[in-house]
Every structure is written in structure tokens, then in C-alpha cells.
Amino acid sequence: HTWTADSWLKHAAICLHLNFKLALGIAISAWISVIGYIAITGLTSWGGCHFLVVAGVYVPTLLFFLVVFYGHRLSSLLHEQPTVWLDKVCIHQTDEAMKAQQVKALPVFVARSREMLVLWSQCCTGGYWPWAWKFLGFRV
């Protein structure tokens, strides 16, 4: 990632990566539940179109965004959370000797990782970046 990108964009990207499938499943389940309830009880049981829009559109949409941004907290109750390594948090930012030692250990973290999320921005398309990604084994 880059230090110039907005932190909320990084947060949103990580949340989408971790929680998108769960959020989509819950939103679709809520929508199917509304459709099922309408099929069983009829349209008039909701008291008019206003509640249909709330139950069929707003509630699933709200659930989707809540789960996207907080789903990792919900899923941690059911199973073990994935271990996340963030360079700004895990590499010392002021002590240069400690920082150098931790940067040298990066290949160990990459080798033991099951997957890697690379946050990409326009600043990473020129200069040495394409060479670096090829060196690391990624397609450019």
C-alpha cells in the first residue's frame, strides 16, 4: 500500500476482503425472508407499500453495510479470526535499527502466509514498482 492513500479507503478495502461473502449472504437471506413472508401472508399484511420498501430494500442494504464493516467481529464469535499483519503496525516506525531487522524478516511472513491482500493505487504503477511485483512473483 501507499502512505498517500486515504486511511478510510484502506479500511474499506480490508473490510470488503474479509467480510464481503458473509455480508452478501446475510443481505440475500434477509431479502429472501421478506419475499417468503410476502408469499405466505400476502401483500396486505405489511400495511402498504411503505413497509415493503423498508423491509425489502432498506433492511437488506443496511445489513449488508453493517456486516461489511463489522462482520469480522461477528465471525470471531463463531470461529478463529484470521491473523492479519499490517506493516505500519508491525514494523517499528521510529527506531531505524529495529525497523531494519523487522524488514529483513518480511520474507518469513510472506512465506508463511496463505493469502496476501495488496492495496493498489496509481502511485504504484511507475518507477520500480512493476519490476518489484515481477520480482515478488506477481503479474503486472
Domain ranges of the chain: 7-78, 87-136
Residue 124, pLDDT > 60, answer no
Asked if 64 and 22 touch (Cβ cutoff 8 Å), the reply is no
Count CB-CB contacts under 10 A for residue 26: 19
Residue 111, pLDDT > 90, answer no
Per the listing, cell 518507477 goes with 127
Confidence class of residue 99 from pLDDT cuts 50, 70 and 90? Answer: confident
**Greatest alpha-carbon span in the chain:** 71
**pTM, rounded to two decimals:** 0.66
CA distance 135 to 32: 47
